[in-house]
Structure 1
């Protein structure tokens, strides 16, 4: 469960993370995005086509309690986060494409996340308070707008805000380790293995399918790596915030389980994948024509 102090701290961290995301954006980013509809399409299909379907399959075939299944569904419907941009950078992927996909999935998420939750929740016979989730998503656009305003008023201040938001997104994992894990240790010891399988498989399958999708489209290897990481690395802090602000009571830890565990394991998974991608970054590949897509 999440205590009152943790909930307030979580809200503050999410605000700063979304503020940093907004500070990374300029009107020109949206102009460039609209000029590259192919990139927009890849981002939308990857985040809101593959990931929710992967979550649906995991819920269907794994023996998950209904509350845990709700957590899987929420996590799988999240947009990309700034963490994916960091791993894209270290894997020598296409950072511009990574940011474009993150922006696209975040903006489109306000409309698509409630629709996808409605479709998949009905198909899986799960009860989800969609109105609360919609309200949370709309509220989270406020710091994004403020961040964009800061960037427009002062480029240096915007750059610092962007850095702080990205740094806090990584620190957020440490917050979960220090706070949520010890408080829910007994639950973590007694929960079903399927909960852990779902938490790990969501990211692993997302990265694998994202990479395969990019290779089918014959994208440059740098762009394929980017699409893979953007697909598999969801916005864990946002999912945790939605669960924390939507559910309460003794079952709250069950709803929180997969978003929290996913946020922990995806760092390990993405780190391993980054090492693999860096080894594949050969000299011959560097000579290939790149471009954004």
Structure 2
């Protein structure tokens, strides 16, 4: 499952993302730079810093600390698009942010992971994500997305037909991957579930809150704030699990992402109802101001 199943599962998820993308999704970033810039600053700088503070506060063991930092460095997951649609967010902004984040993560994820490994020193025999392993991250993240975009460019009808089945398969695969990671590390999980559950739930709540309140404070429209909230708050746990187990070869390193991946669904769902009520009241003002 680790050597073949996990990369294949993530590849299918990222292929599904590519099937929904066009070059216009990247160009759209230039049309609404304010919301995108705020989201990227929160995603790439603010949240890793907050996660680092939480890790120190909770005094996690070194391997789990690195796992949390790797989770914080992961881009938004495709599940964010589903939640944004459910709670009336700006889907186009979600798609654009996911596209940009996935590209940037090829650089930032290895950098943040290497910083965490150097700081917490969980391994005695390796220095972190070296260039060869960073290339693996590139292949895992971007090649399936590029393949999906090529399919959509030259065979758009086929891409449209495959969009829904691949989305459904992605959700099923996500659940299976997380369940497999939990099952294969059950004893480790039982030993650390209390501290991991608390810190992952807290990090998820903070991520969602930052993703909503910071854009609203900067006068970003309500629907865009809902989109950035889920894009920032729902991290790609599957990517973190794949890199931990397949690239770095550590099952324990994947535990924070596995626990987060389970609890995130419930936290994000409850948060969505909370902000939908608030955004529904403020939407006319946001539309008028824009």
Structure 1 distance, partners of 2:282, 2:212, is 20
Within 5 A, what are the aligned runs for 1:1-293? 5-124=1-120, 129-131=128-130, 133-140=133-140, 141-176=142-177, 178-191=179-192, 193-248=194-249, 252-282=250-280, 285-286=283-284, 288-289=286-287
Task: Give the secondary-structure state (helix, strand or coil) at the position aligned to 1:280.
Answer: helix
Structure 2 distance, partners of 1:182, 1:117, is 25
Q: Is the 8 A contact 1:129 1:246 kept in 2?
A: no
Structure 2 distance, partners of 1:133, 1:77, is 16
The one-character-per-residue Cα deviations of 1:201-225 (angstroms, maximum 9, x if unpaired) are: 2211101112121121111222222
Measured after TM superposition, the shift of residue 226 of structure 1 is 1.5
Measured after TM superposition, the shift of residue 55 of structure 1 is 1.6
Measured after TM superposition, the shift of residue 228 of structure 1 is 1.3
Structure 2 distance, partners of 1:147, 1:290, is 38
Measured after TM superposition, the shift of residue 18 of structure 1 is 0.7
List gaps (5 residues or longer) in structure 1: none
Structure 1 distance, partners of 2:220, 2:260, is 28
Moved more, 122-131 or 268-277: 122-131
Measured after TM superposition, the shift of residue 280 of structure 1 is 3.3
After superposition, the Cα gap between the structure-2 partners of 1:270 and 1:262, relative to the gap in structure 1 and judged at 3 Å, is same
Q: Is the 8 A contact 2:177 2:238 kept in 1?
A: no
Give the RMSD, CA atoms, in angstroms. 2.3
List gaps (5 residues or longer) in structure 2: none
Measured after TM superposition, the shift of residue 172 of structure 1 is 3.0
Q: Is the 8 A contact 1:19 1:161 kept in 2?
A: no
Q: Is the 8 A contact 1:102 1:230 kept in 2?
A: yes
Query: How many residues of Structure 1 are paired with residues of Structure 2 in the alignment?
Result: 285
Q: TM-score, normalised by structure 2?
A: 0.89
After superposition, the Cα gap between the structure-2 partners of 1:255 and 1:27, relative to the gap in structure 1 and judged at 3 Å, is same
The one-character-per-residue Cα deviations of 1:125-165 (angstroms, maximum 9, x if unpaired) are: 55552125412221121111110100001112222343344
Task: Give the secondary-structure state (helix, strand or coil) at the position aligned to 2:251.
Answer: helix
Measured after TM superposition, the shift of residue 263 of structure 1 is 0.8
Q: Is the 8 A contact 1:244 1:256 kept in 2?
A: yes
Structure 2 distance, partners of 1:290, 1:234, is 32
Q: Is the 8 A contact 2:181 2:255 kept in 1?
A: no
After superposition, the Cα gap between the structure-2 partners of 1:91 and 1:61, relative to the gap in structure 1 and judged at 3 Å, is same
